[in-house]
Amino acid sequence: MLAFRSQRARPSLTLLGLAALLSACSLGRDERSAQATEQAAVDAARDAMLAAARALGGTDLKATGRWASCPGGIGQRYVGGGSMKAPKGNVAGQLEAIRSAVAAAGFTDVTQVKENVTMQRDDISVNLNYNRVYEGWPLSFRSTCHTYPRADAKRVKSSANREIEGLSP
């Protein structure tokens, strides 16, 4: 009897898994252009990095971004990363300084992992944490997944890294 229940539940579990996967991506066409999404992600990354740099006295800010496929191949999102050097200090205190500074720059704190600062503005997530090996502050950012019309297809199919400009604190 147990084997029978297991086989009956399999389609339901498959559908539940598929629904969870699809909920991470927008199934409809994005309301804004790919260029606007890219610009929103770049602006969010720049604003977060500059706020963090001001809070810590950070230097050597560098970041790039590019288009990437979403998990499951449904849609595209703009992703990127970068780094910042900062004077050594109490990491917990520095994390709180970053959190406050980035929140003051218009982000909402959505941190769920200790020793990370994860902030969100609109549909762009930005994450900063201290890397003890590198002795710096890496940053990652990403937009949510969206599908784009043919007019934006060339832009979102490009996987070339683009440098984010204007990262001088």
Whole-angstrom Cα distance, residue 113 to residue 154?
A: 36
- Residue 14 pLDDT: 45
Asked if the model's pLDDT at residue 92 lies above 60, the reply is yes
Segment 149-155 mean pLDDT: 86
Mean pLDDT of 121-126: 96
* 51 contact partners, CB below 8 Å, separation of at least 6: 98, 101, 102, 104, 105
Is pTM beyond 0.95? Reply is no
The H or E element that residue 66 is part of is strand 59-69
pLDDT at 104 over 60: yes
pLDDT tens digits for 128-137? 999 988 889 9
Q: What local confidence, expressed as pLDDT, does residue 15 receive?
A: 40
In angstroms, rounded to a whole number, what is the distance separating the alpha carbons of residues 48 and 128? 9
Closest CA to 117 of 93, 135, 134: 93
Distance of CA 4 to the CA centre of its chain: 43
Residues 12-66 pLDDT 10s? 434 434 344 444 444 444 577 999 999 999 999 999 999 999 999 999 999 999 9
What's the CA gap between 69 and 65, in Å, rounded? 13
pLDDT class for 8, splitting at 50, 70, 90?
A: low
Band of the pLDDT at 81, cuts 50, 70, 90? very high
